[in-house]
């Protein structure tokens, strides 16, 4: 008879910033001790202050600290951590890291290494999903080796096309081409970007949709074979494939279309026997949707799903990794109201130039239906070494209008002085008549960005 699952006693958090704090809060509620790892630049950070233990794992540059697998594993071993939560970014989708965790008998809080490897290779993920009967964008069967092969595929599917890194994500290693001469020009650029960002130059070709919506479904699976979805998130407000504002539910989905997309998302997860938290991403145009990728980790925008479902996704991740079944069924999930998240970045709101530096004054908003996930405080320093996100501001309302109103008044009273932020741009988005009507696509920000 198999042993009864036992909750972890100590978890190491292989991340920094707001997501590290978010995981610490979940662990505290579960009675689990935490270990923070940090670079020399993050020694005074809040995730170090509030964890039960901390270990410095290297210099400021991520490659020498947060991406240093040996240093992270050594920190887990010297602190007797039973599990590692990778958060998002850094090592969160690294099959190699998950394999090392397994070999060292430390539980990786995420999917199995084989699933990370399969879904992380975007062209292979396309093939797997297509076999499961889920629609994918027309494109190449796997990576394309050179410009001539890329042009052949593009001529078959029709321009415009997008060149995408096979091992990529987050908008890196992507280039759009509207004609063959442009494709031949951007193809080697995309390959080099892919090589630099993901240590693999492989790229593939997909048909590029001109005005799609970007819709993703939150998935959660356990080791008993239960897989459920927790609804969709609308992620179309983005710049260079980087999301700026997310919401749930999407204004673009009818109940019938939502059900079809949810079933497709579940089919993707079932096809790889998915465990833990993940996100299945689609492009939607003219009521037709296409799989684009699966993110095998918790997402930056997970709070909007938590707000409309009342389910703590981080706690669920931890429980599932410990071998405990999901605490809910598909039928037991209730969707309530509407939620919006704005990512507040340390960037110039017009040019998007990074704006690292000292935060002289910081005051977060509050009130009913308002949540702020951040690791920022007055007199802290926004480092040039890491992601520029200052905070995630999330609001919830009984309906979309109320969620928008709460977001607007929250942005208006949020104080972040000493650096530039994207708050003025977020206010412009909220006041845009098309946004308020729910009429937009991934091209929406073209009107505000030079």
Could you read off the pLDDT of 353-402 as tens digits, one per residue?
999 999 999 999 999 999 999 999 999 999 999 999 999 999 999 999 99
pLDDT tier, 450 (very low <50, low <70, confident <90, very high otherwise): low
Checking if the pLDDT of 174 tops 60, the result is yes
- Please give the distance of CA 28 from its chain centroid, rounded to a whole number: 23
The alpha helices in 350-415, defined as continuous H runs, are: 400-413
Domain boundaries 138-207, CATH class: alpha beta
Mean pLDDT of the chain: 96
Beta carbons of 73 and 96 less than 8 angstroms apart = no
**Domain boundaries in the chain?**
10-109, 138-207, 213-447
- Please give the distance of CA 379 from its chain centroid, rounded to a whole number: 28
Domain boundaries 213-447, CATH class: alpha beta
Residues 46-105: tens digit of each pLDDT: 999 999 999 999 999 999 999 999 999 999 999 999 999 999 999 999 999 999 999 999
The whole-number average pLDDT for the span 22-42 is 98
Predicted local confidence at residue 240, as pLDDT: 84
The whole-number average pLDDT for the span 183-189 is 95
Fold classification of 10-109 is Rossmann fold (3.40.50)
Checking if the pLDDT of 183 tops 90, the result is yes
Residues 267-278: tens digit of each pLDDT: 999 999 999 999
The whole-number average pLDDT for the span 395-419 is 98
> Which among 16, 22, 233, 297 is annotated as catalytic?
297
Checking if the pLDDT of 448 tops 90, the result is no
Predicted local confidence at residue 4, as pLDDT: 77
Residues 308-325: tens digit of each pLDDT: 999 999 999 999 999 999
**Partners of residue 285 on adjacent β-strands:** 288
Residues 1-27: tens digit of each pLDDT: 566 789 999 999 999 999 999 999 999
Long-range contacts of 192-198 (CB under 8 A, 24+ apart): 193/165, 194/165, 194/166, 194/167, 194/168, 197/165, 197/168, 197/172, 197/173, 198/165, 198/167, 198/168, 198/172, 198/173
Asked if 297 is an active-site residue, the reply is yes
Calculate what percentage of the chain has a pLDDT beyond 70: 98
Distance set, CA 244 to CA 340, 346, 412, 422, 431 (Å): 11, 12, 17, 9, 15
Distance of alpha carbon 238 from alpha carbon 248, whole angstroms: 15
What are the two backbone dihedrals, phi and then psi, of residue 231, each rounded to the nearest 5 degrees?
85, 180
Distance of alpha carbon 235 from alpha carbon 219, whole angstroms: 16
Predicted local confidence at residue 241, as pLDDT: 83
| Backbone CA torsion sign across 407, 409, 414, 419 | positive
Helix (H, G, I), strand (E, B) or coil at 117: helix
DSSP state of 324: P
Predicted local confidence at residue 447, as pLDDT: 86
């Amino acid at each position: 008879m198999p042993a009864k699952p036992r909750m972890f006693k100590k978890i190491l958090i292989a991340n920094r910033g707001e997501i590290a704090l978010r995981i610490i809060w979940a662990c505290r509620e579960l009675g689990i001790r935490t270990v923070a790892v940090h670079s020399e630049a993050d020694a005074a950070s809040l995730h170090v202050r509030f964890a039960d233990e901390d270990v410095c794992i290297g210099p400021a540059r991520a490659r020498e600290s947060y991406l240093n697998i040996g240093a992270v594993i050594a920190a887990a071993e010297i602190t007797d951590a039973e599990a590692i939560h990778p958060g998002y970014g850094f090592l969160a989708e690294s099959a190699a890291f998950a394999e090392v965790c397994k070999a060292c008998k430390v539980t990786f809080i995420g999917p199995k290494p084989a699933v990370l490897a399969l879904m992380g290779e975007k062209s292979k993920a396309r093939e797997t999903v297509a076999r499961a009967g889920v629609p994918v964008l027309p494109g190449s069967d796997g990576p394309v080796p050179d410009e001539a092969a890329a042009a052949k595929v593009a001529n078959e599917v029709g321009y415009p096309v997008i060149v995408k890194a096979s091992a990529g994500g987050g908008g890196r290693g992507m280039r759009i081409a509207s004609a063959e001469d442009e494709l031949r020009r951007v193809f080697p650029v995309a390959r080099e970007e892919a090589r630099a960002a993901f240590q693999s130059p492989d790229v593939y070709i997909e048909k590029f949709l001109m005005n799609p919506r970007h819709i993703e479904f939150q998935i959660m699976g356990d080791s008993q074979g239960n897989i459920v979805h927790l609804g969709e998130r609308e992620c179309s407000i983005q710049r260079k494939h980087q999301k700026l504002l997310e919401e749930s539910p999407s204004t673009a989905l009818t109940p019938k279309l939502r059900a079809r997309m949810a079933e497709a998302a579940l089919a993707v997860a079932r096809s790889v026997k998915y465990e833990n938290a993940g996100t299945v991403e689609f492009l939607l145009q003219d009521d037709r949707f296409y799989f684009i990728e699966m993110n095998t980790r918790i997402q930056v925008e997970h709070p909007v799903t938590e707000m409309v479902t009342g389910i703590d996704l981080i706690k669920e991740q931890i429980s599932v990794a410990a071998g405990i079944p999901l605490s809910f069924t598909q039928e037991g999930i209730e969707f309530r109201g509407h939620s919006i998240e704005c990512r507040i970045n340390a960037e110039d709101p017009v040019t998007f130039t990074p704006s690292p530096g000292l935060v002289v004054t910081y005051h977060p908003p509050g009130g009913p239906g308002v949540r702020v996930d951040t690791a920022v405080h007055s007199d802290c320093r926004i480092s040039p070494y890491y992601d520029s996100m200052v905070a995630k501001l999330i609001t919830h309302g009984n309906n979309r209008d109320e969620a928008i109103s709460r977001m607007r008044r929250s942005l208006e009273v949020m104080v972040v002085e000493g650096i530039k932020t994207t708050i003025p741009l977020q206010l412009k988005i909220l006041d845009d008549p098309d946004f308020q009507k729910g009429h937009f696509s991934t091209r929406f920000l073209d009107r505000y960005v030079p």
